[in-house]
Structure 1
C-alpha cells in the first residue's frame, strides 16, 4: 500500500511540474510576442530562444522565422534551418519549410533527397504544402523520375479534400487548377482531355480561384 501511495505521489508531482513548466513557457511566448509587437525584436528573439531551449516549439518556429527573414535581427538562415529541423523532428510541423530550404539550399547544402524526404513527412502529417511539392516534383521530373499519372493523382486528391482553414482551401483551389492543366496539356491521358480540364477549372472556380474561373470561361466560349 505504501509503495502504491509513493508511486501516486511521484506521478502527481511530475504532473504538477509539467503544468508548471508549460505555464512558464506559455508566459515566455506571450512576453516575446509583446516585445515583438513593440518592435523590440532583439529582446523578443532572446525570449523566444529561452523558451525554445526549454522545448517550446512555437517559440522555436517564431525564432526560426525571424532568423530566416531578418525580422528585426540579422539574417541567419543556417540557424533558421537548424530550428526548423528541431521543430520538424519533434512535432512533424514546418517540415514543408525545411524541405523548401533544402531545395533552395537556404542555410543548408542543397539536397533533393532531403527535399523529398521532408516534403513526404509534411504530407504524411496533413501539411498539404508538402503534398504539393511532391506533386510538382513528379510533374516536372527535375528531381525524381517524371510520373505525370502520379502527379495528377496527388493533385486530384488535394482538389477533393475537405478544407478546415484558408491555407488548405488555397491549396485545394490550386490543386484543382493543376489537375486542369494536366489534362489540358496531356497529363495522364493518351491525348489532351479538354472537357476534363474544363471540369477541374470549374472546381477551382467554385472554390474561389479566379484563374479557374477565367480558364473555365475561355473553354466554355470555345464550345467545350
Structure 2
C-alpha cells in the first residue's frame, strides 16, 4: 500500500513539474508569439498552471475580443476546482487582468466570488482567498472596497499568528478604503514583538510623510 501511494505521489509530482515547465515556456513566448504560447497553454493539464499561462497569453494578445475570451476560459477553469479557497485564489489571477481591461465585467465576477468565499467555513482559508481578491483589485478603488469589507469582517472573526500576518500584510490597502476600521484591526492583532515592530514602522512612515516646515525666522 505504501509503495502504491509513493508511486502515485511521484507521478503527481512529475505532472506538476511538467505543467510548471510548460507554463514557464508559455509565459516566455507570450510577448513574441501569443498564438504559439496559447497552444502551449492548452496542453497544460494542471488547472493551476493552465490558468496562469492563459492569463499571460491574454495580456499579450492584440485583439481585445480574443483577450476577453482567454480570460473567460481561465475563469471557467478556476470555477471547476472543488475547494472554495483554491477556486477563489485561482480566479483572482484572471480578475487582475480583467480589472484593467473590463472593470464592469470584473465587478460582476467579484460579487459572485465574494458569495462563494463567504461559504468557506474555515476562517483562515477564507481570509487567504479574500486577500488574493484584494491584491487582484488593489489598483481599482471601486472593485477593491467590497473585497476590503469582506476581508475586514473575516479578519475580525479570526485569531492567531496567520490572521495577524494577514492584518499586517493587507493593512496599507485596507487603509486606503476603510481608514475608520484600522483601529479595530490593530486592536484585534495579538500582542507581542511583531505588533510592536509593526506599529513602530507605521509611526516612522507617518513621520516620513509629514511635510517639512521650512524655518522662516529671520537671521540676526
Q: TM-score, normalised on structure 1?
A: 0.50
In 2, the alpha carbon distance for the partners of 1:46 and 1:9 equals: 36
Q: Kindly indicate which of the two structures has a greater share of residues assigned to helix.
A: 2
Distance 1:36 1:206, change over 3 A: same
Partner of 2:40: 47
1:74 maps to 2:73: no
State the alpha-carbon separation in 2 of the partners of residues 14 and 59 from structure 1. 21
User: Which residue does the alignment assign to 1:194?
Assistant: none
Q: How big is the shift at 1:64?
A: 2.8
Residue of 5, 8, 22 corresponding to 1:14: 8
Q: Say yes or no: does 1:126 pair with 2:100.
A: no
Q: Structure 2 regions of 5+ residues with no counterpart?
A: 138-142, 158-162, 183-197, 212-220
Distance 2:8 2:111 in 1: 41
- Cα separation, 2, equivalents of 1:62 and 1:33: 6
Secondary structure of the corresponding residue to residue 126 of structure 1:
helix
Separation in structure 1 between the aligned mates of residue 47 and residue 147 of structure 2, nearest angstrom = 35
Structure 1 position 111, deviation (Å): 6.3
* Aligned residue number for residue 94 of structure 1: 90
Q: For each residue in 1:93-142, what CA deviation from the matched residue of structure 2 results, as whole angstroms up to 9, or x when unmatched?
A: 23345678697225xx9467514324646971514154698983399xxx
Residue number in structure 1 paired with 2:145: 136
Where structure 1 has 5 or more consecutive residues not aligned to the other structure, the ranges are: 1-6, 140-147, 184-201, 219-224
Higher relative contact order (CA 8 A, sep 6+): 2
Cα root mean square deviation, aligned: 5.0
Question: Is residue 63 of structure 1 aligned with residue 61 of structure 2?
Answer: no
- Distance in 1 between residues matched to 2:24 and 2:40, nearest whole Å: 10
Q: Hey, what does 2:192 align to over in structure 1?
A: none
Of structures 1 and 2, the larger Rg is shown by 1
CA distance in 1, matches of 2:13, 2:49: 17
